[in-house]
A and B are shown apart, each in its own frame.
Chain A
Amino acid sequence: MSDIILQIDGKEVAAKPGMTVFEAAQSAGIAIPTLCHHEKLAPYGACRICTVEADAGGRTSFVAACLYPAEKGLVVRTRTEQVNRMRKVLLEQMLSHAPDSEDLLELAGEYGADPHRFEKEPSFCILCGLCVRYCAEVKQKHAVSFFDRGAKREINFIPEIAVKECWDCKECFPLCPTSALQAAYVLTESLLTPPEEPSSCGGCSSRG
């Protein structure tokens, strides 16, 4: 199949069918920031830092570059004033949870985000879901999962799986943009009885 030609930041970019705007930009050397994208995982679109402005079908809208398909004739702008402002606010929101994350602080510098703008709620996790998705999609172990919803959403290990699978793997640790995961895992470990007696596990009763 022939290439799809679209325009990103005024530059003509050729994309293969099935590519997203993010991938097309990447192939053309245009950097779009992201915190939840991983090449081995299905696009997810949770952090929204990759939000760009796109003109398609006569309409201008903001879309997540990591999810939006590269379409013929699409016109994309990755650094408009409004896009920058939204990225700044998103970073400030995430920094209220993980104020010391180096990845976040680096982007904060670029976008002029104030790490102290919003009330702190140090959960240390920005719910990018890299660990959850990696464990499910690549390792197929399902040892870590999202729980609850809305403002109460969080990640947790599933003790009965974690106790069997995690100790020798830990491949998700380096993926974490805020280093929250290791802490969560250690916490879960401490709740567990030794792995030899998984039947008397009491770890999950800590959740209502």
Chain B
Amino acid sequence: MDIGTIDQIIDNHQSEAGSLIQVLLEIQSQNNWLPKEALTRVSERLKVPMSRIRHITTFYKTFSLVPKGRHEVHVCMGTACHVRGAERVLDTVREVTGVGPGETDPELNFSVETVNCLGCCALGPVMVVDGEYHGNVETAETAEVLKKCTCSSE
């Protein structure tokens, strides 16, 4: 991500220190993760110590300090999904992708995240793969959806 784009984002927020989280969110959404150079630039321009940026980028769950995989898998762990078997879905995801929540596999195929509630409780358990919702997923179906992803990316 080039410095110009980062500067543009910061300028849009009038370089206010209070907009730190909004600036980081925008960088994250454009670049998918937060490279170190971006954090350094933000620290300089907003005059916010690096310590605070480090704390914030590890405190808030949206931020990623490593590149994300080609396929983003979100498993809803909301209470409604939990009582309908979300843990089983997550187990299967872990088995198929080889990574757990918050992780990305070394080949950058999958990034797996758990989310607290997608507000689609009627469809629970819910898994979202690359923005597509899969409701009422059973173990076997979960595996099928993910295996399709690996096929298409190979």
| Complex A–B touching at CB under 8 A | yes
Contacts of B49 in A (CB 8 A): 136, 142, 161
Contacts of A161 in B (CB 8 A): 49-51
A143-B65 contact in complex given A148-B58, A148-B59, A149-B59, C-beta closer than 8 Å: no
Which residues of chain A from 120 to 177 have any CB-CB distance to chain B below 8 Å in the complex?
132, 136, 142-149, 156, 158, 160-161
Judged by a CB distance under 8 angstroms, whether B41 is at the interface is no
Closest chain A residue to B103, Cβ basis: A208
Residue-by-residue, is B44-85 near A (CB-CB < 8 Å gives 1, otherwise 0)?
A: 000001111011001100000110000000000000000000
Contacts of B55 in A (CB 8 A): 145-147
Q: Count residues of chain A with CB under 8 A from any CB of chain B.
A: 18
Closest chain B residue to A204, Cβ basis: B36
Distance, CA A148 to CA B52, complexed state (A): 11
The residue that B50 contacts in the complex, of A132, A149, A160, A205, with Cβ under 8 A, is: A160
Closest chain B residue to A154, Cβ basis: B58
Distance, CA A207 to CA B50, complexed state (A): 14
What are 28 A-B pairs with beta-carbon distances under 8 A? Answer: A132-B51, A136-B49, A142-B51, A143-B51, A144-B51, A145-B51, A145-B52, A145-B54, A145-B55, A146-B55, A147-B54, A147-B55, A147-B58, A148-B58, A148-B59, A149-B58, A149-B59, A156-B54, A158-B50, A158-B51, A160-B50, A161-B50, A161-B51, A204-B36, A205-B36, A207-B58, A207-B65, A208-B65
Interface residues of A (CB under 8 A from B): 132, 136, 142-149, 156, 158, 160-161, 204-205, 207-208
Instruction: Given contact pairs A146-B55, A208-B65, enumerate 10 new A-B contacts (beta carbons under 8 Å).
Output: A132-B51, A142-B50, A142-B51, A144-B51, A145-B51, A145-B55, A148-B58, A148-B59, A207-B58, A207-B65
